[in-house]
Chains A and B, each alone.
Chain A
Amino acid sequence: MKLTINQKYKLKWFIWLSMIGLAGGFLYTLIEDGWVMIPLFNGTLAGFMVGITIALLELYVFAGNLRKIAFTQIFVLRVGVYFILAFFITFSIFLLSRMIQFDLSFSGVLYSDEFQYYLLNRYYLVLIVCFFVIVLCVFTLQMARKLGHSNLWDFITGKYLIPRKQMRIFMFISLGGIDKIISKTGNLEFHNFINDFIFDITNSVRIHRGKIVHYMEDEVVIVWKVAAGVNQANCIRTYFDLCHEIAGHFEYYHSKYGLLPKPKCAIHAGDAVRAEIGEVKSEISFFGDAVNTTSRILNEAVKSGTDILVSQPVVDMIQIPIHFQTKDQGLFTLKGKHNKIQLYSFHLPGDE
């Protein structure tokens, strides 16, 4: 069975969170009760259930529209909800296991001396540990999301402390000059404008397996692993998808800012060196000829008013879908470069 990217992404979440819950529950009971079968089983099961429930909520409830809520508010909300759930799950599992073990009724267990003693003297510790683990997990998750993609993980493992050479597909998107937009909107509204634009395009980028590297004034830099970008012409599709997305928000942009974002983009592929730069406020960024070239191609696109310019190496790699209309734009000499480069533009029929 072949999973879509979205399904893979969700599956990964489920596995990760349930494993964390499972391991946490197991370890805690091991420390607290030692190697005794029943509590160990209960603890592990409780941890696993809590993990699964959190994963479910994380994917289906705390996604989408809640993204624009402030960090602290959503943090408190999440921790509160997860904690209450964890309370219910652990409580009912401990209760149920006693019902089965001693063959008692619900109220029989609830009012038995053993359970009362357990609740008053041991259970609060379980809750405290639960609370701390939830706080830690939610905080890390939110922070990781803020840093973007695998950045947090790469920082921790120090993957790019030594510069690494990687073949990547680069896409630069520009809104065609910051000055023009600012003169219409003013500084403060420009910020909101660009932020809305980024929120609108993020999903298209994610679905097509692109990764956002950074934002720079009115530019967004996106990168693909070659296989991911080439597959089904993902990198070119992203552009048409995000244009479509923005066209869907036409009314909103028009009424709020009085102008519609008109993204221009440049796509190029090549070797780049990826490195972690700076010791304070570290950034993992790309260096090298491919990055500069893409940026120059983008300049050409903005200058000539072409929506999308794709360089020869990318076009060679990609199997262009039949319904894309390719147009040869000829050879270009880019600023500061000696070699000429062949550029192509693309259209969707009926797009004019």
Chain B
Amino acid sequence: MNKPRDFILLIQKNRIRRIGFIVLSSVLLGLLYPTINKEFDNPLAFFNGFTIGFLGGLAIAVNEDHRHYKSIKRELFAVRLFKRVIIYTFYFALIVALVVATTYGISSGQGLLKYISGPQFQQFIFHGDYLIIVVYALFFCGLVSFTLMMSRKIESRIMFNIISGKYRKPVEEERIFMAIDLNNSTKIAEELEVERYCEFINQFYMDLTPAILSTNGQIYRYVGDQVLISWPVQKPGFNIRCLRTYFIAKNELTKQQEVYLSKWGYKPSFKAVIHTGKVVAGEIGDIKSQFVFHGAVLHQLARMEKHCNQIRVSLLLSNKYTSIIDLPSFYKLQECQQLTFNDNTEPMVLYTVKQLLEEPLAAS
């Protein structure tokens, strides 16, 4: 199961789902328009609605999907929304005119060019439904862009869970957790001003984001200088993606080092620990609600992270995690010093990983 192809398929599944959702809603709205107008005796209207919805939705979906895996420039939410809506609406306006001209041109037997220059088309554009259709498209684009941007802000799965109410009652589930920590953060925090430190940390998080998204990691929380990411436990071939996130992120950050150095005077480096176990997942709070995990895993993760500092390695995997993965041949496990807990539980066997080859599979 650890062939790169399967891995790509898993990632693609999410993309297909996202694209399908946008296209489907767009097609439905395209069909809704002639229904509202009661053009039941005109099958061409429905055909046009479908085509316009499909083409427009597909374009939006592909564009959104393309942007999804990238870290976006920090920009005002409202400005970004406005830009997108304008572009999408413009595109819709173009498609509507084209599709209508083509289908009516063909059905009336006049041909495309003759129809466009004819009075019927002029009538449609300047005095007919065209303006209303464009306003209709504007609403749709606004809604789609707003929902997508908001779901990125809140984390799409959390938003979906809030809406579906899946975690209103707490659920116990098995998850993989990874904590990524900025090294020397205390020193950096002391020497930079607080505002500058915030910017530094933010840049660091933003550079990690594409790596996390590319493996479908769910960002759980930012705590000080730490990002907590989680994945559901799946087949051994898929579970390896948590480990891959580390290497992708490391590559990405190495590339960016000069930028950090010139802007803040520090190179960012990080350590990561991966562990897995049972957690209780659920939603808490009333006027501010928050999605939380509770469980021993998170405490053990914090202990592992301290251990990381003591034995000076930058990546630690727990034996529980290594037991549920299929390790590809270009990664090699090395055993590290065991971690003992204060209470009389068994010591945890820990590993670090050496990458023997360069990453054979680029982040999608």
**Would A281 and B170 be within 8 Å (CB), given that A199-B286, A215-B290, A215-B292 are in contact?**
no
A277 and B280 contact, CB distance less than 8 A: no
Whether the Cβ atoms of A287 and B197 lie closer than 8 Å is yes
Residues of B within 8 A of A163 (CB): 194-195, 198-199
Q: Is residue A105 contacting chain B, with contact meaning CB distance below 8 A?
A: no
B6 contacts the other chain (Cβ, under 8 Å)?
no
The reply to whether B36 and A125 form a contact with Cβ atoms under 8 Å apart is yes
Contact check, A149 vs B155: say whether CB atoms are below 8 A apart.
no
Contact B285 A188 (CB under 8 A): no
Contact check, A278 vs B206: say whether CB atoms are below 8 A apart.
yes
B contact residues around A158 at 8 Å (CB): 75-79
- Stretch binding the partner chain, chosen from A70-78, A79-87, A249-257, A320-328: A70-78
Report if A206-B287 is in contact (Cβ < 8 Å); known contacts: A72-B165, A188-B172.
yes
Contact B155 A70 (CB under 8 A): no
- Contact string, A196-225, partner B, CB cutoff 8 A, digits 1/0? 001100100010000011111100000000
Give complex CA distance A171, B221 in Å.
21
| In-complex Cβ contact of A280 among B74, B152, B287 (8 A) | B152
How far does the alpha carbon of A145 sit from the alpha carbon of B172 in the complex, in Å? 26
Q: Does A156 contact B (CB under 8 A)?
A: yes
For this complex, into which size category does the number of interface residues on chain B fall? 35 or more
Query: In the assembly, what is the distance between CA of A288 and CA of B201, in Å?
Result: 13
Assembly CA distance A196 to B355 (angstroms): 47
Inter-chain CA distance A214–B224, complex, in Å, is 13
Q: Does B348 contact A (CB under 8 A)?
A: no
**Which residues of A have CB within 8 Å of B165?**
70-73
- Name the interface residues of A112-166: CB closer than 8 Å to any CB of B: 124-125, 128, 132, 136, 143, 145-149, 151, 155-158, 161, 163, 165
- Which residues of the other chain, A, contact B195 by a CB distance below 8 angstroms? 163, 165, 273, 275
Tell me which residues across on chain A come within 8 A of B154, comparing CB atoms. 147, 281-282
Interface residues on chain A, size class? 35 or more
Q: Which residues of B contact A157 (CB under 8 A)?
A: 76-78
B residues near A128, Cβ cutoff 8 Å: 36
Asked if A191 and B294 make an inter-chain contact with CB atoms under 8 angstroms apart, the answer reads: yes
A275 to B206, CA, bound (A): 14
Our count of residue pairs bridging A and B at CB distance below 8 angstroms stands at 155
Interchain CA distance A268-B117 in the complex, whole Å? 74
Q: Are the CB atoms of B285 and A288 closer together than 8 Å?
A: no
Interface check A67, CB cutoff 8 A: yes
**A70–B227 alpha-carbon span in the complex (Å):** 29
Contact A281:B155 (CB < 8 A) given known A163-B198, A163-B199, A187-B172: yes
The interface residues of chain B lying within 8 Å CB-to-CB of A67 are 286
Given A191-B284, A212-B288, A287 contacting B198 (CB threshold 8 A): yes
Binds A, one of B41-49, B52-60, B156-164: B156-164
Q: Would you call A231 an interface residue if the criterion is a C-beta within 8 Å of the partner chain's C-beta atoms?
A: no
Does any Cβ of A come within 8 Å of B168's Cβ? yes
User: Would B284 and A198 count as touching, CB distance under 8 A?
Assistant: yes
Q: Which of B71, B81, B287, B290 has the most CB of A within 10 A?
A: B287
* Majority secondary structure of chain A interface residues (helix, strand, loop or mixed): helix
Residues of chain A within 8 A of B310, CB atoms compared:
none
Smallest beta-carbon distance A173→chain B, Å: 13
Given A191-B282, A202-B286, answer yes or no on A281-B219 (Cβ-Cβ < 8 Å).
Answer: yes
Residues on A with beta carbons closer than 8 Å to the beta carbon of B162: 71, 143, 146
Distance of A182 Cα from B296 Cα, bound (Å): 10
CB of A273 within 8 A of CB of B198, answer: yes
Complex contacts, B219 vs chain A, CB 8 Å? 278, 280-281
Is B213 interfacial (CB-CB < 8 Å)? yes
User: Is A192 interfacial (CB 8 A cutoff)?
Assistant: yes
* Selected contact of B287 from candidates A178, A190, A212, A277, CB within 8 Å: A212
Q: In the complex, how many angstroms separate the beta carbon of B362 from the nearest chain A beta carbon?
A: 20
Instruction: Offer 18 A-B interface pairs, CB within 8 angstroms, sorted by A.
Output: A71-B163, A143-B162, A146-B289, A147-B289, A155-B153, A156-B81, A163-B199, A182-B294, A188-B170, A202-B285, A212-B287, A214-B290, A277-B202, A279-B71, A279-B72, A279-B74, A279-B206, A282-B154
Q: 10 new A-B pairs (CB below 8 Å) besides A146-B162, A277-B202?
A: A31-B135, A71-B164, A72-B165, A155-B153, A158-B76, A178-B294, A190-B294, A215-B292, A277-B198, A280-B212
Question: Which B residues fall within an 8 A CB radius of A?
Answer: 36, 71-72, 74-79, 81, 135, 139, 143, 150, 152-155, 158, 162-165, 168, 170, 172, 194-195, 197-199, 201-202, 205-206, 209, 212-213, 219, 221-223, 227, 278-280, 282, 284-290, 292, 294-296
